[in-house]
Amino acid sequence: MNNLVAQQNAVTELMRVSPLADELAERFARAGHSLYLVGGSVRDALLGRTTNDLDFTTDARPDRVLQIVSEWGDAVWDVGIAFGTVGVTKNGTTLEITTFRADSYDRVGRNPEVTFGDTIEGDLLRRDFTVNAMAIDLVGKTFIDPHDGMDALRLKVLDTPALPQESFADDPLRMMRAARFSAQLGFTAAPRVVEAMTSMSEEIDRITAERVQTELSKLMLAPDPQPGLELLVDTGLADRVLPELPGMRLAIDEHHQHKDVYQHSLTVLAQAIALEKSHEPASGPDLVLRLAALLHDIGKPATREFTPGGGVSFHHHEVVGARMTRKRLRALKYSKEIVEQVSQLVFLHLRFHGYGGGEWTDSAVRRYVTDAGDLLTRLHKLVRADSTTRNKRKAAALQATYDDLEARIARIKEQEDLDRVRPDLDGNEIMRLLGLPPGPQVGQAWKFLKELRLDRGPLEHDEAVAELKKWAAAEGLGSGQPPQN
């Protein structure tokens, strides 16, 4: 299909999927202004991807845009009006309309000095990549592609409308976006883009951790994060934003053979993504699981030791890795919940290997479930994904062993309600039986009973009371009389 036919098809398709665009264009035309659909909306239409978020640009200034859409939209907001953007919702669809921009940057921070432009060509030149620098004139129904974005789309290449050095100097976050689009779209960065990213990687330090984290999260949630992660590592950007990732590239010499931890981690990530849907309970893209899969072995470089006979060990790398994970995710300004969940998965990912051929007692199974808590289904997937051996017999044996563990967990859950493991006696009864007032001694008794519950499963009431009193006597706790008011 030649470009002319493809361009016409794009116009037709966008008009079909978004009659709102045509309706809005008529309003702007009546007001004497142009209106263009731009950016990701055009790109995604050409790729056959659907979106409910539409981006427009116009020669109308922001105050004029507000006048045009105020009576048409279901809701209108002007939070971004200082940057020339007016937001509108109509029939459940979100639209953003931005006045042509011809910004200038001080190349110290990221925010530009906002300057409004007068032409669509000037506006497209300032965009991040040529595949995002195409537009459709909604009034004239014509396709505009001054930077050969259609060819780049066909070749699956990421290139910049301006020189990449100029583009990235204006906004270094575009380098992270290049990695993100590599993951989301399966595109390859043009050689000159890779060269600029490599020579300018330190410029990413101008960008706040929050913005870097947003791009990294989008990359991690893409269908295939690996190309994006490899681009970050190969260009040196990862050294600035996620140094633990390239830090896992351990040299392999002829005397100490072992898996490359970096490549192993990318494989585990890919396998975890496959398990999101294939292993029950199925889920959509899971940021916590994916981050844990990528980072589960980041403690290995710091714990590597060579052993006699040419072996290598990584003792306690899960403990070190959990600490490193927590530190890195905090630096990237992830939420407290995500930090704790990912760190706990990293900490627990080796626990299963003590299961052997099923030698765990029911007590060990209970502790595994209790320690995992709400993360248990993610832990199942992470542990399964962590098997990257090429030995088919060994891989099958590992999966069968984990099948057995999951089956045991299911059986014990049915019998004991493991999701809510509690002592057989509550705090009020502990105080009554031991004659204790509220305080830390009650907490110690409660903890003892919980440990007993994990070890032996549910106890009869009289047995639990006897065990509590025996423990209290040994600890010298309680008078045996009700607490005095």
CA distances from 335 to 213, 244, 285, 330, 342 (A): 11, 19, 18, 8, 11
- Reply yes or no on whether the pLDDT at 32 is more than 90: yes
pLDDT for the residue numbered 161: 95
Rounded Cα distance between 254 and 319, Å, is: 29
- Reply yes or no on whether the pLDDT at 320 is more than 80: yes
pLDDT for the residue numbered 130: 96
pLDDT for the residue numbered 254: 39
Which long-range contacts (C-beta less than 8 Å, at least 24 apart) are formed by 74-82? 82/114
pLDDT for the residue numbered 145: 92
Give per-residue pLDDT as tens, 212-270.
999 999 999 999 999 999 999 999 999 999 999 999 986 454 334 445 889 999 999 99
- Listed ranges 110-119, 376-385, 389-398; the one with the highest mean pLDDT: 376-385
| Confidence bin at 194 (pLDDT 50/70/90) | very high
pLDDT for the residue numbered 3: 62
Q: How many CB atoms lie within 10 A of CB 158?
A: 24
pLDDT for the residue numbered 263: 92
What is the CATH superfamily name and number for domain 3-155? Beta Polymerase, domain 2 (3.30.460.10)
**Nearest alpha-carbon partner for 156 in 73, 224, 248:** 224
pLDDT for the residue numbered 399: 87
| Confidence bin at 478 (pLDDT 50/70/90) | low
Least trusted range by pLDDT, from 30-44, 220-234, 463-477: 463-477
* DSSP-derived secondary structure for 87-140: EEEETTEEEEEEE-B--B--SSSS--B--B-S-HHHHHHTSS-GGGS-EEETTT
pLDDT for the residue numbered 163: 95
- The first and second tokens of residue 467, run together, are 């065990």
Give per-residue pLDDT as tens, 292-304.
999 999 998 877 7
All CATH 3.30.460.10 domain ranges in the chain, comma separated: 3-155
Rounded Cα distance between 159 and 166, Å, is: 12
Give per-residue pLDDT as tens, 347-361.
999 888 777 777 788
Helices (H) and strands (E) in the chain, counts: 23, 11
* DSSP-derived secondary structure for 364-379: HHHHHHHHHGGGHHHH
Burial of 188: CB neighbours in 10 Å, binned 0-12, 13-18, 19+: middle
Q: How many CB atoms lie within 10 A of CB 125?
A: 17
- Reply yes or no on whether the pLDDT at 33 is more than 60: yes
pLDDT for the residue numbered 451: 77
Q: Calculate mean pLDDT across residues 397-418.
A: 79
**Nearest alpha-carbon partner for 378 in 285, 300, 315:** 285
Q: Calculate mean pLDDT across residues 91-113.
A: 75
Least trusted range by pLDDT, from 85-89, 185-189, 301-305, 324-328: 301-305
All CATH 1.10.110.30 domain ranges in the chain, comma separated: 169-241
Q: Calculate mean pLDDT across residues 412-437.
A: 71
Burial track 37-48 (b if 16+ CB lie within 10 A, e otherwise): bbbbbbbbbbee
| Confidence bin at 471 (pLDDT 50/70/90) | confident
pLDDT for the residue numbered 20: 82
**For all residues of the chain together, what is the average pLDDT?**
85
**Nearest alpha-carbon partner for 301 in 331, 264, 355:** 264
Element (H, E) at 391: none
User: 169-241 adopts what CATH topology?
Assistant: Hydrophobic Seed Protein (1.10.110)
